[in-house]
């Protein structure tokens, strides 16, 4: 993929409202927003030639959950180093945070997520991605 293309942000959540809210929060960034409603759909998107700078994964999804998806992405050459931010509204937050970080997540956000916080977190990984791209 040409280095002049926009980096992608992958938003994976089975709830359309959650995907829409995340996409709206990131709308000021110069990125391609790629949405998937399942882990399987996210893997298909990741297999394409997208240059992803970060993935936002819902923890609880039918079929492939967020942890399984993160593990799958880590096993693929083009997404092995992809930063993953988990998002969840789980009651057992401490256990899920621990599991997320063991799955090599870079962050864990609890719902409801402040749009400003989400934007700030993603902006950090976008900047790192762009700096790495310049060095290459």
Task: Check: CB of residue 54 under 8 Å from CB of residue 83.
Answer: yes
pTM of the model: 0.91
Spatial strand order in the sheet of 107-110: 32-36, 8-12, 52-58, 84-88, 107-110
Render pLDDT for 55-81 as a digit per residue (tens, 0 to 9). 999 999 999 999 999 999 999 999 999
The pLDDT, as a whole number, for residue 136 is 84
* Among 9, 23, 4, 94, residue whose Cα is nearest residue 54: 9
Query: What mean pLDDT is reported for the chain?
Result: 91
Contact 3, 133 (CB under 8 A): yes
Q: What number is the average pLDDT over the span 107-134?
A: 95
Give the Å distances, CA to CA, from 8 to 30, 55, 74, 98, 111: 9, 9, 17, 27, 23
Q: Look up residue 31 and give its DSSP letter.
A: S
């Amino acid at each position: 993929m040409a280095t002049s293309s926009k980096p992608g942000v992958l938003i994976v959540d089975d709830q359309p409202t959650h995907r829409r809210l995340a996409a709206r929060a990131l709308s000021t960034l110069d990125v391609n927003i790629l949405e998937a409603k399942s882990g399987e759909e996210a893997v298909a998107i990741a297999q394409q030639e997208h240059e992803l700078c970060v993935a936002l994964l819902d923890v609880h999804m039918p079929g492939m959950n967020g942890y399984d998806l993160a593990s799958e992405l880590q096993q693929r050459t083009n997404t092995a180093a992809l930063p993953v931010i988990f998002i969840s509204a789980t009651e057992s937050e401490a256990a899920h945070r621990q599991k997320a970080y063991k799955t090599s997540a870079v962050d864990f956000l609890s719902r409801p997520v402040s749009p400003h916080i989400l934007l700030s977190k993603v902006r950090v990984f976008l900047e790192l991605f762009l700096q790495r791209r310049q060095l290459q």
